[in-house]
Amino acid sequence: MTREKLRIGLFGYGCVGQGLHDVLNSSNGFKADIVKICVKDRAKKRRIPMTNFTYDKNDILNDPSINLVVELIDDAAEAFSIVSTAMKSGKNVVSANKMMVAKHFKELVELQKKYNVSLLYEASAGASIPIIRNLEEYYDNELLYSLRGILNGTTNYILTKMHNEGIPYSEALKGAQEKGFAESDPTLDVEGWDAKYKLCIITGHAYGLFLDPEEVFHYGINKVSEFDVKYAREKGFKIKLVPYVGKTNDNTITSFVLPRFISPDKYLYNVDNEYNGVIAEAAFADKQFFCGKGAGGHATGSAVLSDISANSYGYRYEYKKYQQGTVSNYTRQHKIEIYLRYNDEKEKDLFGFEEVSEYFCGRFYKYVIGVVNLEKLYSLRKQLPLLDVFIVNTGRKINSQKGADKEIQEEQI
């Protein structure tokens, strides 16, 4: 198949935009012209001549010679405006904006079909890990039991530093910011929003269900304490932020984002610092593990470059699981065992524990381990940021969980 000559209009020249520029210039055998770069900060000094830049998005969107728009900005609402306008103009698009894709997933899929264009966004879900392409091609007709993993390099770096060096959360976060792994406002990362948006994107390709992010429970690491890390270490665990999606029966799935205890015999145990890891468990391929850098301009830029290259061959996502109608329902009626560190007994009672296997009450800390319903956690989602608690999924198999043994056993992998 012959490659189309690409003339690129690039939106954004931050960490990822510059990373893309570097990997594109270093790529052998593949050349594409970046015709113009649109940025918003007129005062910011750039490392390349200012003649490469514009401050008017229409200089790119209305240029008929530009046949590929690459969107790498932070503003999800503006990103959707740019991407949708470009597609309506017949331009193919590559994006790394996970919030934009997750919030407008179904609409973006329909725009691609209506205007006969391609939108590729590999970099939005796993940085350097090609998980979307694998779901689209390798697992296109495979029954997937579950997908889970580490999808946020910022939180993984923070938790690694806390575990390995015994430093407090605030110090580990500061280190992540100094290395460029965390933004000055780290809310999207540390509160679990970023991981949830990525999980929603993966779910669309794995199961063909386009979830509203607001319907998916997420909980981050910003309340983690040195006590929690010490407890995990004494038990032989590490704490990782782990998004999960999996089948509960033939046509229903559930999903959530929670910190999780990981034991040394698990794939994710040695995925440290800014690295990401994804585990796919399928009916025929069994378990497969993907690992790669999850933060940094060059890692993400490499995924963007892969999409640019694929676009030059006319590649498009086919959304095969969506076409097949693999899954039709989503549920939060799913039991999980959690570790809850708390101070106030009234706050503990909010969680509605159905079983309790361990309880500790000390002078400064209290914790309980027991079974709760995911629906109960979801009902508390607006209260949780105000509570002095920290929640961890223990990962323990729940024997009373409805579903096939295979679907239950994923909790142990």
Residue boundaries of the structural domains of the chain: 7-121, 137-293+327-331+395-412
Spot the catalytic one: 198, 266, 321, 366: 198
Is the confidence at residue 411, as pLDDT, over 90? no
Is 397 among the catalytic positions? no
DSSP assignment of 350-388 equals TT--SEEEEEEE-SS-EEEEEEEEHHHHHHTTTTGGGSS
**CA 180, 185, 188, 192 torsion: positive or negative?**
positive
Is the confidence at residue 406, as pLDDT, over 50? no
Q: What is the pLDDT of residue 244?
A: 98
93 CB burial (10 A radius; 0-12, 13-18, 19+): buried
For the stretch 282-300, pLDDT in tens is: 988 889 999 998 777 777 8
Categorize the per-residue pLDDT at 398 as very low, low, confident or very high, splitting at 50, 70 and 90: confident
Q: What is the pLDDT of residue 90?
A: 95
Mean pLDDT, all residues of the chain: 91
Q: What is the pLDDT of residue 21?
A: 81
Is the confidence at residue 402, as pLDDT, over 60? no
Give the residues across from 369 on adjacent strands. 339, 358
Is the confidence at residue 167, as pLDDT, over 80? yes
Categorize the per-residue pLDDT at 164 as very low, low, confident or very high, splitting at 50, 70 and 90: very high
Average of per-residue pLDDT across 256-277: 96
Please give the Cα distance from 356 to 215 (Å, whole number): 27
The H or E element containing residue 339 is: strand 335-342
Q: What is the pLDDT of residue 146?
A: 96
The tokens of 208 are what?
Answer: 């063909």
Fold of 7-121: Rossmann fold (3.40.50)
For the stretch 54-78, pLDDT in tens is: 999 999 999 999 999 999 998 999 9
Average of per-residue pLDDT across 16-27: 80
Neighbours of 111 (CB within 10 A): 18
Q: What is the pLDDT of residue 142?
A: 86
Q: What is the pLDDT of residue 399?
A: 62
CATH superfamily of 137-293+327-331+395-412: Dihydrodipicolinate Reductase; domain 2 (3.30.360.10)
Average of per-residue pLDDT across 395-402: 67
Q: What is the pLDDT of residue 100?
A: 98
Average of per-residue pLDDT across 129-133: 92
Q: What is the pLDDT of residue 294?
A: 79
Half-sphere CA count of 80, side-chain side, radius 13 A: 15
